[in-house]
Structure 1
């Protein structure tokens, strides 16, 4: 998986939310934790779910069901076009 195409989104922090404009669809999404952190952890290159989990675990206490929860959040971000599955 990877982030959608470069310059396809614009993000603006708004208190507890991050507003993300997805330019290709014209939709604006209000994201809360952990979605912004997931997008940041993806970085610029394609990664697997396990690689993403390792990146997030470096900065957060994820708990025992982290992989299942991360998979669900990633699926949501794929559905709205912010992450592209590879």
Structure 2
């Protein structure tokens, strides 16, 4: 089963900036300006989780009544494409 995790902490510098967050990815030299749920996903996936485990953890942490698995898949795949997250 596929697991996902945030890029190693040593390769990311995360700085809150008012309502947004700056994420500097040292490996690519790119800075990403992100909004929720990206910082929450990077925090949650510091350790590898499957999509179902991540969805369950997000539902519990944020008291989600009807979590959208497809939306989570889309966000995680965007983060994988940007290099901020890894597929294991």
Instruction: Report if TM-score (shorter chain) is over 0.5.
Output: yes
SS in 2 for 1:7: helix
Stretches of structure 1 that go unaligned for 5 or more consecutive residues are none
Distance 1:63 1:39 in 2: 22
Distance 1:16 1:81 in 2: 22
Distance 1:77 1:61 in 2: 23
Residue 56 of structure 2: aligned partner: 54
- Richer in helix (by share): 2
Aligned pairs (5 A) from 1:6-85: 6-43=9-46, 45-64=47-66, 66-85=68-87
Residues 10-48 of structure 1 deviation map (CA, whole Å, 9 limit, x = unaligned) = 0000011110000000000011011111111112x2110
Stretches of structure 2 that go unaligned for 5 or more consecutive residues are none
Deviates further, 15-24 or 57-66: 57-66
The answer to whether the 8 A contact 2:59-2:65 is kept is no
Deviates further, 72-81 or 58-67: 58-67
TM-score (norm 2): 0.88
TM-score (norm 1): 0.90
